[in-house]
Chains A and B, each alone.
Chain A
């Protein structure tokens, strides 16, 4: 069975500090991995994805994620957090079908 896991329900970070939102995966074969962001009463918005190639993937709004095969991780990162980054973040992935994690609430404190 394939799955993704987001071990943190919530992440708090001060504005201007770097942020990391964690995701690990359990997928047989080469996984396709995604990050989405959800603002209140909105649908999910695509941030970035890993298919193959460079392990460091750059996406929208200054976000990036690093694919680490040995640690089966795909953590989302941003060098300097903004208050407007506060939202719910979902990791998703799979090989034949995409499944979603339960989400991590990011709170950026002014």
Chain B
């Protein structure tokens, strides 16, 4: 079946612009995660949804970052007034059920470059 998809794959934004990154999880997956991966680093947790409920947003770096999953499927990560330090790859992952023992399946990521 189809895996996790993300769009766009690449995004160039001017500093101060707003961007929206989309994630389509595997159909039927309850949990959805967003990560930020800086160059040469591992994925850093941003936020977690169980169905439409955002249960953990402790990793969002500032109030410029906002995520939603209104119908418990597709999710959007929005970054307002982008800054150069926001440049990174943003990864989305989904898992069939909730819980840290569940395998997460990752999308290809969106590479964001803020100029």
Contact = CB atoms under 8 A, between A and B. Distances in A.
A109 B104 CA distance: 30
A103 B112 CA distance: 21
Contacts of A34: 103
Contact of A43 (B42, B101, B109): B109
Interface string A38-59: 0001111110010100000000
B: contact size bracket: 20 to 34
A43 B4 contact: yes
A98 B104 contact: yes
A100 B42 contact: yes
Contacts of A102: 40-42
18 contacts: A32-B100, A36-B106, A43-B91, A43-B106, A43-B108, A44-B91, A45-B106, A46-B103, A49-B101, A92-B42, A97-B45, A98-B45, A99-B45, A100-B35, A100-B42, A101-B42, A102-B40, A102-B41
